[in-house]
Amino acid sequence: MENVILVTGGAGFIGSNFILQRMELDPASIVNLDTLTYAGNLHNLAAIANEQRYEFVQGDIADRQLVRHLLNRRKPRAIVHLAAESHVDRSIRGPDDFIRTNVGGTFALLEEVRAYWRGLADQDRKNFRLLHVSTDEVFGSLDSEDPAFSETTAYAPNSPYAASKAASDHLVRAYHHTYGLPVLTTNCSNNYGRFQFPEKLIPLMVLNARDGKPLPVYGDGQNVRDWLYVEDHCEAIATVLDRGRVGETYNIGGGNEKRNIEIVETICDTVDEMAGRRGPSRRQLITFVRDRPGHDRRYAMDARKIERELGWRPRETFESGIRKTVRWYLENADWVRDVTSGSYRQWIATHYSS
């Protein structure tokens, strides 16, 4: 078995950040399997495209023949499973892709990985790991006074996206307990940082604020999320992969509970500072729109387990991370222009038309 890590969904937001970080800090070779949907962008990985330790393979995790061939050819010692449909709003408008990829794709991957793992030599089988990356949304919603989600919180998904991720989490757990597959699961809070597709809250608000466009905020803007800088998340994934206990789950959070309206106001002030103001504050662009169905009120993550057992904690505060993020989007207009295609603009117009 080679010193190879297979990353599914490696051209996406978290995946590309993870691969770039590992290529810099880890001697392992990286194989990136990505089907390149609208949110996958190989430009994110242009800096390493010609590195000998990096290989990109375009393909779907649900294509079992492709996955089988790739596993047998590259013989990875670990798999980081990030491939997923991930946007709640899209899951409400069209849940089919979420069930196909997040549930069916994860099942197909698990079946091929199980066969591959069983064929390894004893020591290689013992050392192999599959790390499944999931979300805090599987736990449902919290009231303002409720304790944060822990690794033992009961699942209560409230959107098709969250339900599809919950199903994939259960499949991963079942393959460990039924077949002995050495798995690890991480559940993370809301990520932000470079390369995030601008349908998500923070990049959407940065770009609209830059361009003087309305800033659509759901409901009353009081929904609370815990925000995690993506590079901190990538370090946590690597830490769990390296030292996590097989079969365990680890919550990964940023320790930054913020109301959505706070996030948008901070972005307005930061864009005013970095891009310059020509008139009133960009806060005047904030527009409240009809809330989405089943919108969870609050998420919060208890990440004491990963800190206690593995010594991980985030490096970035929200204040430092959001400044890095806003500056990146303002300084990378070419990247933004490439990803905000006509189909993206049409989707935004349709979704926020009300």
Say which range, 121-135, 205-219, 313-327, 334-348, has the weakest mean pLDDT.
334-348
- HEC profile for 75-125? CCCEEEECCCCCCHHHHHHCCHHHHHHHHHHHHHHHHHHHHHHHCCCHHHH
In the residue annotation, 55 being an active-site residue is answered as no
Overall pTM surpassing 0.75 (yes/no): yes
Contact call for residues 326 and 270 (beta carbons, < 8 A): yes
Average pLDDT over residues 244-254: 98
- Active-site option among 89, 137, 169, 231: 137
Residue with tokens 């390369």: 195
Q: Determine the Cα–Cα distance for residues 157 and 160; give it in Å rounded to an integer.
A: 8
Half-sphere exposure of 274 (CA within 13 A, CB side): 20
Is the pLDDT at 349 greater than 80? The verdict is: no
Q: Which amino acid belongs to residue 333? A: A
Q: Determine the Cα–Cα distance for residues 48 and 212; give it in Å rounded to an integer.
A: 35
In this prediction, residue 123 has a pLDDT band, given cuts at 50, 70 and 90, of very high
Is the pLDDT at 301 greater than 90? The verdict is: yes
In the residue annotation, 51 being an active-site residue is answered as no
- Active-site option among 54, 161, 192, 299: 161
Q: What is the DSSP letter of 24?
A: H
In the residue annotation, 307 being an active-site residue is answered as no
Q: Which domains does the chain have, with CATH numbers?
A: 4-197+229-254+298-316 (3.40.50.720)
- Active-site option among 60, 136, 232, 316: 136
